[in-house]
Amino acid sequence: MSSQVRGVIAPAKGAPVEVTTVVVPDPGPGEAVVRVQACGVCHTDLHYREGGISDSFPFLLGHEAAGIVEQVGEQVSDVPVGDFVVLNWRAVCGDCRACRRGRPWYCFNTHNAGQPMTLADGTPLSPALGIGAFAECTLVHAGQCTKVDPAARPAAVGLLGCGVMAGLGAALNTGGVQRGDSVAVIGCGGVGNGAIAGAALGGARRIIAVDIDARKLDWARGFGATHVVDASTADPITAIRELTDGFGADLVIDAVGRPETWRQAFYARDLAGTVVLVGVPTPDMRLDLPLLDVFGRGGALKSSWYGDCLPSRDFPMLTDLYLQGRLDLDSFVTEEISLDGIEAAFDKMHAGEVLRSVVVA
């Protein structure tokens, strides 16, 4: 048995996305079918469409989603039908070398559904980040379903499934923000503003938002930035140093992921400070730095995969903070759209008009 639903695919490298029929198999052992209530449009979906992540076209796009568990397969005991869940792309295995060392947020063998979703002609689809939630229903591994408080708005908490969590976690988990730190965030899209919100939650004293788009900087103030730098008119390294008594920030987060922004992060950081790369570079990008500067400036140069989050720990906690009014997830949702609006949402993302367009059912 299977069901046919509407879904949005990237058919070929660089080609516009298409709404089409997607065949969702009944869940097998360990799997679940989730009725998608909301799914945000993330820059990573655009990377997929452009062939920047892999060549396994066609992709079923969409991966920051919330919904209701509709059907579960055998051997699924902890995800009841009817639960409100945020989908994650880190269903930890419990058994790989990272999990066995007590560091499951690095899990190297995360679970996804075993069966493929397909086009009507049987062509298998590659679901973005093992999720594929620009669809009315999607098939995932049961471990990808993280139960959160059903009082939460799906369009808001679904964003914890990727970009906003990546940003929050880049600050809180990977960057380890401490009360009193100075934090600079380069690139204030959904990910960067997540990092700003994370820095605020973590008790940072100064939070410096950097972007080339003034609208993004206005939003950043709303999420807790104490200072903003327009990198289209000012040099971010000089500006961040000036705002930190001439020294640089304790933590600089690159939420763009380009050589020039990473270099800015590297030099805008205080001695022994931390750089966190959370933006995703493309394969052609290269860095050239004096190795002596790497040594002489000390500190930590880290990457943040999914904000080093542990969904079972972080999603319910952050949902509770949201419901208590301590984490403003609603302001990430610039607009609610339908499945037909994704190509236009990519254009708006490019034009800087949105933090997140969210597809709602």
Ligand X SMILES: NC(=O)c1ccc[n+]([C@@H]2O[C@H](COP(=O)([O-])OP(=O)(O)OC[C@H]3O[C@@H](n4cnc5c(N)ncnc54)[C@H](O)[C@@H]3O)[C@@H](O)[C@H]2O)c1
The contact set with ligand X (CB under 6 A) reads 42-44, 47, 162-163, 166, 186-192, 210-213, 216, 231, 255-257, 261, 278-280, 304-306, 349, 352
Let me know: does 252 contact 275? Beta carbons within 8 Å: yes
Peptide bond into 11 cis (omega under 30): no
Residue 93: name its binding partner from ligand X, Zn ion, none (Cβ under 5 to 8 Å by kind).
Answer: Zn ion
The pairing of strands 145-147 and 137-141 is unpaired
Q: Which is nearer to ligand X, 131 or 162 (CB)?
A: 162
Which residues, 6 or more positions from 234, have their beta carbon under 8 angstroms from its beta carbon?
A: none
Let me know: does 76 contact 32? Beta carbons within 8 Å: yes
Which tokens sit at 211? 């972007």
Is residue 162 involved in binding Zn ion (CB under 5 A)? yes
DSSP string, 16-70: PPEEEEEEEEPP-TTEEEEEEEEEE--HHHHHHHTTSS-S-PSEE---EEEEEEE
Name the minimum Å distance from CB 277 to Zn ion.
15
Q: Which is nearer to ligand X, 25 or 281 (CB)?
A: 281
Residue 152: name its binding partner from Zn ion, ligand X, none (Cβ under 5 to 8 Å by kind).
Answer: none
Residue nearest to ligand X (CB): 189
Name the minimum Å distance from CB 15 to ligand X.
19
Q: Which is nearer to ligand X, 185 or 339 (CB)?
A: 185
Is residue 329 involved in binding Zn ion (CB under 5 A)? no
Is residue 42 involved in binding Zn ion (CB under 5 A)? yes
CA 309/CA 174 separation, integer angstroms: 9
Is residue 107 involved in binding Zn ion (CB under 5 A)? yes
CB-count burial class (<10 Å; 0-12, 13-18, 19+) for 348: middle
Residue 148: name its binding partner from ligand X, Zn ion, none (Cβ under 5 to 8 Å by kind).
Answer: none
CA 290/CA 25 separation, integer angstroms: 53
Which residue shows structure tokens 């919330």? 66
| H helical segments located in 76-189 | 97-100, 154-157, 163-169
Residue 212: name its binding partner from Zn ion, ligand X, none (Cβ under 5 to 8 Å by kind).
Answer: ligand X
Name the minimum Å distance from CB 254 to ligand X.
9
SS3 40: strand
Is residue 99 involved in binding Zn ion (CB under 5 A)? yes
Let me know: does 89 contact 129? Beta carbons within 8 Å: yes
Residue 191: name its binding partner from Zn ion, ligand X, none (Cβ under 5 to 8 Å by kind).
Answer: ligand X
Is residue 52 involved in binding Zn ion (CB under 5 A)? no
Among residues 15, 19, 96, 317, which is the contact residue for Zn ion, using CB under 5 A?
96
Q: Which residues bind Zn ion (CB under 5 A)?
A: 42, 44, 93, 96, 99, 107, 109, 162-163
